[in-house]
Amino acid sequence: MEKQNVNLGLSDDRLHCPECGDIVFKKLPGTTDIECINCGHKMPELTKLTHA
Protein backbone atom coordinates (compact mmCIF):
# COMPACT_ATOMS: atom_id res chain seq x y z
CA MET A 1 0.00 0.00 0.00
CA GLU A 2 1.41 3.35 -1.01
CA LYS A 3 1.79 5.96 1.70
CA GLN A 4 0.85 9.52 0.93
CA ASN A 5 1.26 12.84 2.74
CA VAL A 6 4.21 11.47 4.71
CA ASN A 7 5.93 14.85 4.59
CA LEU A 8 2.83 16.41 6.16
CA GLY A 9 2.81 13.95 9.03
CA LEU A 10 -0.60 12.65 8.02
CA SER A 11 0.10 8.96 7.57
CA ASP A 12 -3.13 6.94 7.73
CA ASP A 13 -1.27 4.26 9.68
CA ARG A 14 -1.26 6.34 12.84
CA LEU A 15 -4.98 7.07 12.67
CA HIS A 16 -6.21 3.48 12.66
CA CYS A 17 -8.61 2.75 15.50
CA PRO A 18 -7.11 0.04 17.74
CA GLU A 19 -10.60 -1.42 18.24
CA CYS A 20 -12.00 -1.72 14.71
CA GLY A 21 -9.11 -0.71 12.43
CA ASP A 22 -11.07 2.12 10.82
CA ILE A 23 -9.42 5.48 10.17
CA VAL A 24 -12.38 7.78 10.80
CA PHE A 25 -11.99 9.96 13.88
CA LYS A 26 -13.66 13.09 15.15
CA LYS A 27 -12.29 15.51 17.71
CA LEU A 28 -14.40 15.74 20.85
CA PRO A 29 -15.10 19.42 21.59
CA GLY A 30 -13.66 20.70 24.85
CA THR A 31 -11.40 17.68 25.31
CA THR A 32 -8.08 16.38 24.04
CA ASP A 33 -9.75 13.14 22.98
CA ILE A 34 -10.70 11.82 19.58
CA GLU A 35 -13.47 9.32 18.95
CA CYS A 36 -13.78 6.69 16.23
CA ILE A 37 -16.91 7.47 14.22
CA ASN A 38 -17.23 3.80 13.29
CA CYS A 39 -17.18 2.07 16.69
CA GLY A 40 -17.12 4.93 19.22
CA HIS A 41 -13.71 4.05 20.71
CA LYS A 42 -12.20 7.09 22.42
CA MET A 43 -8.53 7.80 22.92
CA PRO A 44 -6.35 10.81 23.71
CA GLU A 45 -5.44 12.80 20.61
CA LEU A 46 -1.73 12.42 21.40
CA THR A 47 -2.10 8.64 21.09
CA LYS A 48 -2.58 8.98 17.34
CA LEU A 49 0.79 10.71 17.10
CA THR A 50 2.66 7.92 18.85
CA HIS A 51 0.50 4.94 17.88
CA ALA A 52 2.27 3.16 15.03
The alpha carbon torsion through 2, 8, 12, 18 (nearest 10 deg) reads 140
**Res 29 pLDDT > 50:** yes
Rg over CA atoms, the chain: 11
Q: What is the pTM of this model?
A: 0.57
Q: What is the pLDDT of residue 40?
A: 94
Please give the share of the chain, as a percent, with pLDDT higher than 70.
62
Query: Coil, strand or helix: which one is 2?
Result: coil
Distance CA 6, CA 34 (A): 21
Asked if residues 28 and 44 have their Cβ atoms less than 8 Å apart, the reply is: no
> In this structure, what are the phi and psi dihedrals at residue 6, rounded to the nearest 5 degrees?
-65, -40
Check whether 49 has a pLDDT greater than 70.
Answer: no
Q: Considering the chain, what is the average pLDDT of its residues?
A: 73
pLDDT at residue 20 tops 60: yes
- The pLDDT, as a whole number, for residue 12 is 46
